[in-house]
Structure 1
């Protein structure tokens, strides 16, 4: 318990300091997100990943807080996915490279002895989809970090209930690291999460949810992991339906995510993040209560109904036409840094 508090505190402070230090190198190296009104340096995610790995490794090395079976491998796989995201931040990578790399990492961490082969394959697919959906939340300042903190706490409670102490400590470290990062990412942001941080966080959280539900029936497990990732799923579903209806490429960036549409409803950047954070808290709370057995599985239907309602309502908000894409943009619309 004391180590968990000390580890989380160290992660928060170290991430806040490292993110501040990485801002200037990112600006000098041109590692920027140019989708914003002003270029935003993108090495904040590197700070989150590095600090999380170092703090967790210190607990494992000293044996004060050993990670437990499979959790060390999970952390190494998440670090590999973060490395792939860092390459995507520096150089453009095609989407299939991102999907393939994430899928390979997911295959390596799923506990097949508890899920079985069919359940394991479903878990791999879920981890890939949830990771990419979480990456999509990095379209608004503070959104991915806020949702990540809430989800990490919820998944940590589930892990603690399963007596997975190492995983619970790791998730608390992730939540603390994201909190330190948010000190620089709240509007107006001074540094961004980037593909490195969003992929690392999304992969770690989705895989942790699979770990905590391994051994349970597939149906209830699917309900719990859906609740833990409901905001990311809503954003992904909204974008897919909107772009399909407009016959636009799915991987071409555009102002049609949750945060963009809430802004057009008149919310401030901070207000939209707070609203979506509250939505994430509500859905994660339902998932935790279902996992603990304190409420029935029928409560998940309220979350699913809320997702459908939000998607339908926000689809009615028109998306402004962007500038006509140049030939370079058209040829590169399948690249990772597309929205």
Structure 2
């Protein structure tokens, strides 16, 4: 545990120091996010922040003696994703170009035997996915990578939610005694927290695609390395619960765009965080509410991980009931109530 804490501190301090330098580099390379009709910020912002997070992550792993060569496919896949993100931050790549590189990065990880090998289904038992390993794993990696990318719309939102998700990974890795997951997660936590100091509202630098894609990729891979490797009732649902907020936002975005006969890759300004601001929440309060929702998913997942079969089923029904009630209630009233309560305090 002392080694893991050291990795956290090293990556935190390194990212804290290097991020301002990355900001200056972004300005020189013209990796700048220009405001437009679908964006919230009002002035050009450097967006190469992911490079600092990645470098801090790698330095942290080296310092604590992480077995990099034993996990080289994960590091290579992450490096490929960061290079993709840097190019997109500078040149603005087309969606299909980004998908091709993400597909290659996912295949690199699969080649390293990081995959969804089996699922434990209630009343059925362990199901071998030998035939479907590659497509399911690739789809999971690309889906989660882009879900974190899509939720990156407010200062500190994607980085903060990624921090919460990885923190849940830490807790579950401690419970399940998964040392490799613990080392990766602790170092990644430090990198994210060091960057979040510069990225929380009002941000001085954005993650950019170099950061949001990297964080999404690492979250997807760590979940494959840990959560899907346990033969428990909850192993099927656990990753989905932990990543519930970005997944929900992604599915709603896809449904919304298909309904409007738009490309699923077409950007818009109707994500959940945009809706919260439209309902009257300030930038900071919208982000904090999203943090709270993500943390709630994380707490549910931790409880879920220890549930027995019948407890899991009953808990699932309870969550469905509460979600249905919340959906049918006037969401606008809830937001305004929270807004008034926050202002009074």
Task: Bin the TM-score by the shorter chain.
Answer: 0.7 to 0.9
Q: 2:42 aligns with which of 37, 40, 45?
A: 37
**2:148 matched residue in structure 1:** 134
Question: How far apart, in 2, do the equivalents of 1:190 and 1:282 lie?
Answer: 28
Query: Could you say if the C-alpha distance between residues 112 and 282 of structure 1 is closer, same or farther in structure 2, counting changes exceeding 3 Å?
Result: closer
**TM superposition shift of 1:282:** 1.0
**2:100 matched residue in structure 1:** 100
| Map 1:307-322 → 2, pairs under 5 A | none
Residues 283 and 303 in structure 1, CA contact (< 8 A), matched pair in contact too? no
**1:51 matched residue in structure 2:** 56
**1:280 matched residue in structure 2:** 294
Query: Could you say if the C-alpha distance between residues 112 and 148 of structure 1 is closer, same or farther in structure 2, counting changes exceeding 3 Å?
Result: closer
- 1:41-79 deviation digits (Å, cap 9, x = unpaired): 01111100111012112323xxxx44695x443233112
Question: How far apart, in 2, do the equivalents of 1:137 and 1:281 lie?
Answer: 15
Q: 1:266 aligns with which of 253, 257, 280?
A: 280
Question: How far apart, in 1, do the equivalents of 2:265 and 2:287 lie?
Answer: 23
Q: More displaced, 287-296 or 307-316?
A: 307-316
Residues 115 and 225 in structure 2, CA contact (< 8 A), matched pair in contact too? no
- Any idea what SS the aligned residue of 2:237 has? helix
**2:259 matched residue in structure 1:** 245
- 1:149-180 deviation digits (Å, cap 9, x = unpaired): 00001112223333321221211111121111
**TM superposition shift of 1:303:** 5.2
Residues 155 and 288 in structure 1, CA contact (< 8 A), matched pair in contact too? no
Larger Rg: 2
Aligned residue pairs, count: 312
**1:232 matched residue in structure 2:** 246
Question: How far apart, in 2, do the equivalents of 1:311 and 1:139 lie?
Answer: 23
2:312 is the alignment partner of 1:297? yes
In structure 1, runs of 5+ residues without a counterpart are 318-339
Question: How far apart, in 1, do the equivalents of 2:64 and 2:78 lie?
Answer: 17
Q: More displaced, 101-110 or 177-186?
A: 101-110
Give the TM-score normalised by structure 2: 0.81
- Any idea what SS the aligned residue of 2:93 has? coil
Query: Could you say if the C-alpha distance between residues 315 and 28 of structure 1 is closer, same or farther in structure 2, counting changes exceeding 3 Å?
Result: farther
Question: How far apart, in 2, do the equivalents of 1:87 and 1:302 lie?
Answer: 45
Residues 161 and 292 in structure 1, CA contact (< 8 A), matched pair in contact too? no
Query: Could you say if the C-alpha distance between residues 216 and 207 of structure 1 is closer, same or farther in structure 2, counting changes exceeding 3 Å?
Result: same
2:152 is the alignment partner of 1:147? no
Query: Could you say if the C-alpha distance between residues 213 and 191 of structure 1 is closer, same or farther in structure 2, counting changes exceeding 3 Å?
Result: same
**1:328 matched residue in structure 2:** none
| Map 1:103-182 → 2, pairs under 5 A | 103-110=103-110, 111-112=114-115, 114-115=117-118, 116-117=129-130, 118-182=132-196
